[in-house]
Amino acid sequence: MTRDRSALDALLDAADADAYCIEAGSTDSNQLYLSGFDAPDPFFTAYTGDDLAVLVSGLEYGRARKESHADTVARLSTYDYADRAAEEGRAAALTAVYADFLADLGVESALVPERFPLGVADGLREHGVSVAVDHDDTVETARAVKTEEELDAVRRATEANEAAMAAAEELIAAADVADDGTLVLAGEGDDGGPTPLTSERVAEEIEVTLLRHGCALDETIVACGADAADPHDRGSGPLDAGESIIVDIFPREKASKYHSDMTRTFSKGEPSDTVAEWFALTHEALDAALEAVEPGATGAEVHAAVCDVYEDAGHPTLRSDPDTETGFIHSTGHGVGLDVHEQPGLNPRGGELEAGQVITVEPGLYDPAVGGVRIEDIVIVTEDGYENLTRDYPVELVVE
Amino acid sequence: MTRDRSALDALLDAADADAYCIEAGSTDSNQLYLSGFDAPDPFFTAYTGDDLAVLVSGLEYGRARKESHADTVARLSTYDYADRAAEEGRAAALTAVYADFLADLGVESALVPERFPLGVADGLREHGVSVAVDHDDTVETARAVKTEEELDAVRRATEANEAAMAAAEELIAAADVADDGTLVLAGEGDDGGPTPLTSERVAEEIEVTLLRHGCALDETIVACGADAADPHDRGSGPLDAGESIIVDIFPREKASKYHSDMTRTFSKGEPSDTVAEWFALTHEALDAALEAVEPGATGAEVHAAVCDVYEDAGHPTLRSDPDTETGFIHSTGHGVGLDVHEQPGLNPRGGELEAGQVITVEPGLYDPAVGGVRIEDIVIVTEDGYENLTRDYPVELVVE
């Protein structure tokens, strides 16, 4: 994928620094974005404005030359890493090698991301390299605005996500309600009788569907009743009829590494009046937030639109009570890309939205005594508003 | 799971530091190990010897009190994070809050891991906290020796891994050979005819099998021919008869987060003499390495045993030529636990093995003109040698 490095060029100019450096494996999305190289173990990337250079182990050397965006690919053995590691230990040898690599590139001062490893930074400083933190999150900020190619990857991940959501919903629809109110699947028990339909069983169906659609994922949330009242509880055990079941799926397309993210809340059969009321209100909050999304609007404004709806209906939010553990207890949304949570934030500090950003909008209400309700769509900010990628998936609570 | 913190106690004593601190999400295995708390976004953990304290967002507060190992759970709102972030920005507010949290714990000097984020470290230093890097990787080192509970988790992940390997092997066995030598699956094409058997199709079968066994995984290697000559190439496209196919699977048990790791190399039908010879030699290298595994032996000695076998047969290794891109071009193995690659290393710098460590032994030979061969077992170092968890899975090249 093409990368726009103009923000880094401007940063290096403004800060009068010689290079922007990252030391991490490609699970660090800034590293993957800047280097274009997917490798599990940490490697060193230096961008000087003229040259994008990576320093990798011998094991990754051939692949880095073929696959990375780098103009220059160097390997540890060029700097006698093995002998130095035998003498000084791994960490000291690595920073010495990095310092030599930077010297070869003519780099005496480096800007690095907030999460650059302290051990490497202190080591480079001991070798006379000036290392300063880029407090503006320049690479994350650049990542927030997507190219068409990146948007297409998010679209594909969203299609897979909708297929997985449909698989989850169909499983809940297919379940029977046992005498104790729990959901069961007929004929799936070891003895040919019914077996409980659990959070884990639904998550497995979701994840298998995602794999069949070229996506992977780390975690899925299928949380029922009191579990659903904690937005980060992944859920476990049997599902219950008439309780809210939050299904939150955030896959990553394997080929591109781009994510999607969506949530629906279901109830098998009629829920309590409270859950039904929360659902309608949350749908209203979703619409209010979407209404506010356009270039130039701030993430803070979109978040405020949700807080307004909830507070007007008498629910606590983190705006009305920073310590509340019930009500609307998270932010309204976040950017989605190489990370499932990235810039921009739809929260009290959220800045101006720009066309090409991908954001989730996910209002929700939570209380252990009631359960949880959350509805999450994923949208692209466009020149004249937004494109809702999840618009075709119904927002319907009751599954018969 | 129970955690042995005696090494940290000794470190804090020896370094005369007030606390060991980690700032990371639970994808950082040191964080997960020390805090016992599984949360996606970074949070702060401080271990003082008497007190294990975590500082989390309001969203994680309830779950942290229930699920973490912490004696003390604090939340950002106690330190007025929201107001400070509105005033000073996210990063500055966070370090200010961390500094106040440490002050409340009576911590003036902190030891941190190598990969502690520089932005947080520099921020804490500006607030007068002394921050030094633990160059001994104390938490990683403690993680290397497993409890029975941890070993059981690795055993379960290994069982799932063997099931997935069997699914891959069965798919290759079920394939036919087309006229052009590629593998095809009869009756699976859209028109009811044959469809190519690709790396991606085998990987999908592996990953679905792992999900059905309670495991997840990030990547699977199914690499054939020239792809297999690069140990980190994940493989793509149609598989060929008579070529080596490396299948390397490294799942993580979802419930415990512990990994397993194993590799087999298959050939559909008779391979070239060279591949057959490499396979026999690699099996010999595996046996030589396993023979060397016992408490007190070093990782360097186990690695040397493999280099001896290969070099005696005339193959280059990184020991005989640090720049070689063919032959035996990686280390002999690594620890496995919360990370799929962790301590101890079976490499030229590998230290003494200890009972309770879990290691892979994975010799291999690579050359783009031939392909690649790798065989990987996972073993527990025991008081009197080792227990091979993968011993029941045959080491056989040819799949008919």
B168 and B291 inside one domain: yes
**Chain B nearest-CA residue for A133:** B119
CA-to-CA distance for A387 and A379, rounded, in angstroms? 5
Q: Say which of B41, B63, B116 has its CB closest to residue A118.
A: B116
Kindly list the residues from chain A whose CB atom is less than 8 angstroms away from the CB atom of residue B212: 204, 208
User: Does an H or E element contain A285, and which?
Assistant: helix A273-292
With CB atoms and an 8 Å threshold, state whether A119 touches B117: no
Tell whether A1 is covered by a domain: no
Task: Show the tokens assigned to A108.
Answer: 């005496």
Confidence at residue B206, expressed as pLDDT on a 0 to 100 scale: 96
Within 8 A of A316 by CB-CB distance, chain B residues are none
Contacting residues for B209 by C-beta, under 8 A, at least 6 apart? B160, B163, B164, B167
Please write the tens of the pLDDT for every residue from B213-270.
Answer: 999 877 899 999 999 999 889 999 999 999 999 999 999 999 999 999 999 999 999 9
Residue B242: the pLDDT is 97
Domain final position from A143, A160, A195: A143
Residues A127 and A270 in one domain: no
In a domain, B60, yes or no: yes
Q: Do A63 and B90 touch (CB under 8 A)?
A: no
Q: Are residues B275 and B172 in the same domain?
A: yes
CB contact (8 A) between residue A211 and residue B212:
no
B14 contacts B132 by C-beta, under 8 angstroms: no
pLDDT value at residue B324: 92
Q: Which residues of B touch A324 (CB under 8 A)?
A: 58
| CATH number for position B235 | 3.90.230.10
pLDDT-based confidence at B172, cuts 50/70/90? very high
- Of B118, B143, B168, which marks where a domain is finished? B143
pLDDT of residue A180: 96
Residue among B85, B348, B349 minimizing CB distance to A349? B85
Q: Are residues A56 and A89 in the same domain?
A: yes
State the pLDDT at residue A264: 98
Residue A336 lies in a domain: yes
Are the Cβ atoms of B58 and A207 closer than 8 angstroms? Answer: no
Could you say which of A40, A119, A133 has the minimum Cβ distance to residue B115? A119
**Per-residue confidence (pLDDT) for residue A289, from 0 to 100:** 98
C-alpha–C-alpha distance, residues B226 and B366, integer Å? 9
B300 and B365 fall within a common domain: yes
Q: Which residues of A touch B300 (CB under 8 A)?
A: none
Q: What does the alpha-carbon distance between residue A205 and residue A73 come to, in Å, rounded to a whole number?
A: 42
For the cut 90, the answer to whether the pLDDT of residue B94 exceeds it is yes
Instruction: Tell me the per-residue pLDDT of B129-147, one tens digit each, with 9 for 90 and over.
Output: 999 999 999 999 999 999 9
What CA–CA distance (Å, rounded) separates B68 from B294?
Answer: 35
- pLDDT score, position B4: 83
A73 bridge partner residues: A54
Say whether both A177 and A122 belong to one domain: no
- What is the rounded average pLDDT of the residues B304-317? 98
Do residue A105 and residue A168 come from a single domain?
A: no
Q: Which of B143, B178, B201 marks a domain boundary?
A: B143
Q: Does residue B29 lie within any of the structural domains?
A: yes
Q: Which of A306, A289, A297 is nearest to A379 (CA)?
A: A289
Average pLDDT over residues B38-51: 95
What contacts 24+ positions apart, CB below 8 Å, involve A60-68? A60/B232, A61/B325, A62/B230, A62/B325, A63/A37, A63/A39, A63/B230, A63/B232, A63/B233, A64/A37, A64/A39, A67/A36, A67/A37, A67/A38, A68/A35, A68/A36, A68/A37
Question: Is the distance from CB of A293 to CB of A208 less than 8 angstroms?
Answer: no
pLDDT in tens, B318-355: 999 988 999 999 999 999 999 999 999 999 999 999 99
pLDDT along chain A (400 residues), means of 10: 88 96 96 96 96 94 94 96 92 97 98 98 98 96 96 98 98 97 89 92 95 88 94 94 97 96 98 98 98 98 98 97 93 97 96 98 97 98 97 95
Interface test with B, best of A37, A84, A115, A329 (most B CBs within 10 A): A115
User: Which residue from B369, B171, B199, B166 is spatially nearest to B275, judged by alpha carbons?
Assistant: B369
pLDDT in tens, A281-291: 999 999 999 99
The reply to whether A99 and A201 lie within a common domain is no
Clarify whether residues B45 and B66 are in a common domain: yes
Chain B nearest-CA residue for A95: B114
Q: Is residue B1 part of a domain?
A: no
Within 8 A of B117 by CB-CB distance, chain A residues are 114-118
The tally of domains found in chain A comes to 2
Can you tell me the distance from the alpha carbon of A390 to that of A214, in angstroms, rounded to the nearest whole number?
19
* Best CA proximity match to A207, nearest among A223, A219, A195, A224: A219
How far does A59 lie from chain B, in Å, by closest CA? 7
Q: Is residue B337 within 8 Å of B258, Cβ to Cβ?
A: yes
Domain range spanning residue B184? 145-399
Q: Is the pLDDT of residue B53 over 80?
A: yes
| Claim to verify: residue B149 and residue B295 sit in the same structural domain | yes
Contact A208 B208 (CB under 8 A): yes
Domain identity same for B80 and B167: no
Mean pLDDT across the stretch B280-305? 98
Question: What's the CATH number where B48 sits?
Answer: 3.40.350.10
The verdict on B180 and B103 lying in the same domain is no
Q: Give backbone dihedrals phi and psi of A247, rounded to 5 degrees, phi first.
A: -115, 110
Domain assignment present for residue A97? The answer is: yes
Instruction: Answer whether residue A215 is part of any domain.
Output: yes
Angle at B221 between CA B219 and CA B224, to 5 degrees: 155
Distances (CA, A) of A131 to A208, B118, B186, B265: 45, 10, 59, 45
